[in-house]
Amino acid sequence: MEPTASFFFDFRISDLWFLAEAAWRTLLISTLSITIGTALGVVFGWMLFEGRWAAVLILGPLLDVFRSVPLIIQLVLFYNFAPIIGLILDPFLSGVVILSIYCAALVANVARGGMEAVSPSMRRAARSLGMSYWQDLRYVVLPIGTRAVFPSWVGVALGVMKDSALVSVLGYVELLKASQILITRTQEPLLILTIAGAFYFALSYPISRYAASLEKRWAS
């Protein structure tokens, strides 16, 4: 009797392509979210650093909410409630919005830490040369602060990339969702999760390497 197992045991080359495509989508949503989230996060971090009452009273607690509530809950809530206020977004855009805010909430604290790492005395020296507040921020505080907290930022970025897997709950077929689809069909979880893991590694490793080489260059 022909075993029925053959029905399941059919991981094909095209499936590898399917996973590669999904990895591309993971890369896309992560890159977008990390870019937007970092830009927003630096602005938020600066607001927290400056410590005006609006930032302390409103922004701080708000960012705490986004940092503390599990991402999966944020995604589901946003995806389902955004249409009520007339925002009809597909799973991809919903994912980008929530991941960006989540990333911004994490980056805000990192960025604030970076700005705090630049001594007041250093800033006075910059200002004493006639630099304006913004010139001091742009040419002194940001470059020095960035170097101080860059490793933390890399950690946040890699975390957000892995957390982007959660957007699958909205039906966006990224790497993890694609793996689940293939597992359901082939019943080969070990093989497919290994491949998916390898893809995640392939996405993160160049970033870690690049970060390490940057740090090394700055240290000299």
Partner 1 sequence: MIEIRGLEKFYGSLQVLKGIDLDVPNGEVLSIIGASGSGKSTLLYCINALEAIEAGSVVVDGIDVHAKGTDINALRQKLGMVFQQWNSFPHLTTLQNVALAPQIVKGKSKAESREIAARQLEHVGLGDKFDVYPSALSGGQQQRLAIARALAMEPEYMLFDEATSALDPELVGEVLDTMRLLAEEGMTMICVTHEMSFARDVSDRVAFFHQGVIEEIDTPAEIFGSPKSEHLQKFLSNIR
Segment near partner 1 (CB under 8 A); pick from 93-101, 121-129, 173-181, 187-195: 121-129
Task: Work out whether 122 is an interface residue with partner 1 (CB under 8 A).
Answer: yes
For the segment 81-120, give every residue that binds partner 1 (CB under 8 A): 119
Tokens representing 134 are: 């913004």
Residue closer to partner 1, measured from CB, 147 or 185: 147
Query: Smallest distance from the beta carbon of 140 to partner 1, in angstroms?
Result: 6
Distance (Å, rounded) from C-alpha 135 to C-alpha 91?
40
Query: Smallest distance from the beta carbon of 171 to partner 1, in angstroms?
Result: 45
Tokens representing 83 are: 């249409």
Phi, psi for residue 203 in degrees, rounded to 5: -75, -40
Task: Work out whether 209 is an interface residue with partner 1 (CB under 8 A).
Answer: no
Place of tokens 């938020």: 44
Place of tokens 């892995």: 162
| Binding map of partner 1 across residues 140-179, x = CB under 8 A, - = no contact | x--xx--x--------------------------------
Residue closer to partner 1, measured from CB, 14 or 220: 220
Query: Smallest distance from the beta carbon of 59 to partner 1, in angstroms?
Result: 27
Q: Which chain residues interact with partner 1 by CB under 8 A?
A: 119, 121-122, 124-132, 135, 139-140, 143-144, 147, 218, 220
